[in-house]
Chains A and B, each alone.
Chain A
Amino acid sequence: MVSADPQIWIQALLTIAATSFVFRDNIVFKVAQYTFIGVAAGHYIVMGVKNIINYGWVHLAGGAYIYVVVFILGIMLYARFSKEYYWLYRYPIAFMVGNGIGISIRAAIHSDFIKNIAATASPLVATAPMDTINNIIIFVGCITALSHFIFTYEGIHKGTLGFVPKVGRWMMLMAFGASFGNTVMTRFGMYQGRILFLLRDWLQVV
């Protein structure tokens, strides 16, 4: 039996409306799209207010008066919509950018750069012959792919060494193929959730 729950009906109709874009752009899709943008922005405001209260106001009300500064900075963010006071927006954004960059690059050099080099600088020969072959493929893949991204030393891309970055490009293309294959799975796995909803919760045939 088809569901009698109005919430399920709205969900089902919006699911179909949002899918209709794959055939062509149409008015039903546009309604779904504008609804999505509107509700997302509304949800952001609700969560934003809750966070401001829980992580800011509580401290301020608890006697940490220094938090007045954060509230002023927060309000200054909205100066970006003013032609005259636009520059005020730069103070809070400078704070956020400084924090955001500092917090990520301090670790990136360790996690992305050094750990990966250290892993590559490990023994190639293992006890099992298959492991040795795998180690060599990983080593070659890493070295050649990295060499592909050297731009200011032309010698690496020409002459006898020229095949090294070329192998790197091939290795990367094969890796991208794997990524492509996995993405097919991601998208189908995602849409399958909608099919399951339509058949199980809405039409109730499963």
Chain B
Amino acid sequence: MSIWEKLTAIPREIVIGLVIISMIIPTLNPLGLPIMTGQMAKDWYNYVEDVPEGSVVLFDIGYGSGGYPSLGPATIAVFHQFFDNNLKVIIMATAIEGSMMYPLIMDVVQPETKYGAVYGEDYVFLGYIAGVQTAMAGVLGDLPAIVTADYLGTPIGQIDILEGISGAEDMDLVAYMTTAGGTSEGWVYQAYSAYGKELLGGFLSMMTTSMKPYYDTGQLLGIIDGIKGAADMEYLTGNPGDAIQSSDVLSFSQTLVLIFIIIGNISYWGSRASRKEEI
């Protein structure tokens, strides 16, 4: 077996083992590398900065445990900005695990202690609503006709923030985070296309490429591009958290992947060349 052939066939256990090590080292010893913020996240941040105080935002938690490592930190950073700018936030969940994500997020954001926000006056959580696009269209079309209570069962008549909110016309901005393709396109269809609402979207990085045309055509005003976008938002809002720490891990593990890609290609061409020589 030539050296080239050996290099083309490194056993998977070794590759996977090295990848795990490359994730553990930077978690133990963070590097704290600088963050270069992307335009899509900057657009999101700047747009929210310019929204007048007291504006009403509808926010959708469209992910569950699988998406939390990327989108949880992003949601936390975004909420810091919302509460810092005194916006009124109506939160809903189109993902079935969304209502389990809500307490995880709020444990970190702590709107009461950090921003003096009051549940029911400054923000409310409506809970999980089944039906994805139907739920979106329902909340935007006629909120009191569909929602009867918040996630704890308090009737909406007793919730101050929802007073006078009858649907999209009383909301100033819609934002969402999701791991589902149907949800991310659904918000464009239901909020932008049907009601012309200003819309901000956050999703996994692997979805960014196919959602980008909506951003280019002004249907999405800003994008949070998975873990990278989350790190950008943490940096922009000045609330460093898990996403910035992840950046260090990405530095190590992706460098390793790049090295393996290079080894793979060199050995591929090397073994092709040496086979030609033999002939």
| Complex contact flag A–B (Cβ < 8 Å) | yes
A interface vs B, CB < 8 Å? Answer: 22-23, 43-44, 47-48, 50-51, 54-55, 58-59, 99-100, 103-104, 106-108, 110-112, 115-116, 118-119, 138, 175, 178-179, 182-186, 188-196, 199-200, 205-206
Q: Is B70 interfacial (CB-CB < 8 Å)?
A: yes
- Across chains A and B, which 10 residue pairs bring their CB atoms closest together, nearest first? A193-B69, A189-B227, A107-B189, A107-B193, A183-B206, A182-B205, A179-B209, A186-B206, A119-B217, A186-B205
> Cβ of B250 and Cβ of A185 under 8 Å apart?
yes
Within the complex, the shortest CB–CB distance from A161 to chain B, in Å, comes to: 25
Within 8 A of A (CB), among B224-248: 225-228, 242, 245-246
* Residue interface bits B172-200, CB-to-A below 8 A is 1, else 0: 00000000000001101110111000000
Contact A107-B190, Cβ < 8 Å, known A192-B23, A193-B69: yes
Give the CA-CA distance A186 to B246 in the complex, in Å. Answer: 11
| Nearest residue, chain A, Cβ from B194 | A107
Within 8 A of A (CB), among B124-141: 127-130, 133-134, 137
Q: Is B208 interfacial (CB-CB < 8 Å)?
A: yes
> Cβ of A103 and Cβ of B133 under 8 Å apart?
yes
Contact A182-B249, Cβ < 8 Å, known A47-B99, A55-B129, A190-B69: no
Within the complex, the shortest CB–CB distance from B77 to chain A, in Å, comes to: 14
Chosen A-B contacts, 27 in total, with CB atoms closer than 8 Å, are A47-B128, A50-B128, A58-B148, A99-B134, A103-B133, A103-B189, A104-B185, A108-B189, A111-B214, A112-B213, A116-B217, A119-B217, A138-B216, A179-B206, A182-B206, A185-B205, A185-B227, A188-B23, A188-B249, A189-B227, A189-B246, A192-B69, A195-B23, A195-B24, A196-B27, A196-B246, A200-B27
Contacts of B66 in A (CB 8 A): 190
> Cβ of B16 and Cβ of A23 under 8 Å apart?
yes
Checking B69, B186, B192, B245 against A104 with a beta-carbon cut-off of 8 angstroms, the contacting residue is B186
Contacts of B189 in A (CB 8 A): 103-104, 106-108, 111
Within the complex, the shortest CB–CB distance from B183 to chain A, in Å, comes to: 12
Contacts of A106 in B (CB 8 A): 189, 194
Contact A199-B27, Cβ < 8 Å, known A107-B194, A185-B205: yes
Checking B28, B68, B72, B185 against A206 with a beta-carbon cut-off of 8 angstroms, the contacting residue is B28
Q: A47-B99, A193-B68 are in contact. List 17 more A-B contacts (CB 8 A).
A: A22-B16, A23-B12, A58-B148, A99-B134, A104-B133, A104-B185, A111-B214, A115-B219, A119-B216, A175-B209, A182-B205, A186-B226, A188-B254, A189-B228, A192-B27, A192-B250, A195-B23
Give the CA-CA distance A139 to B186 in the complex, in Å. Answer: 26
Q: Is B84 interfacial (CB-CB < 8 Å)?
A: no
Q: Is B159 interfacial (CB-CB < 8 Å)?
A: no
* Number of residues on chain B facing chain A (CB within 8 A): 60
Contacts of A55 in B (CB 8 A): 129-130, 146-148
Q: Is B171 interfacial (CB-CB < 8 Å)?
A: no
Give the CA-CA distance A100 to B186 in the complex, in Å. Answer: 11
Checking B210, B213, B228 against A116 with a beta-carbon cut-off of 8 angstroms, the contacting residue is B213
| Nearest residue, chain B, Cβ from A115 | B217
> Cβ of A195 and Cβ of B249 under 8 Å apart?
yes
> Cβ of B204 and Cβ of A186 under 8 Å apart?
yes
> Cβ of A185 and Cβ of B133 under 8 Å apart?
no
Give the CA-CA distance A43 to B129 in the complex, in Å. Answer: 14
> Cβ of A47 and Cβ of B134 under 8 Å apart?
no
Contacts of B148 in A (CB 8 A): 54-55, 58-59
Q: Is B97 interfacial (CB-CB < 8 Å)?
A: yes
> Cβ of B227 and Cβ of A47 under 8 Å apart?
no
Within the complex, the shortest CB–CB distance from B76 to chain A, in Å, comes to: 13
Q: Is B257 interfacial (CB-CB < 8 Å)?
A: yes
Give the CA-CA distance A47 to B149 in the complex, in Å. Answer: 15
Q: Is B75 interfacial (CB-CB < 8 Å)?
A: no
Contacts of B246 in A (CB 8 A): 189, 192-193, 196
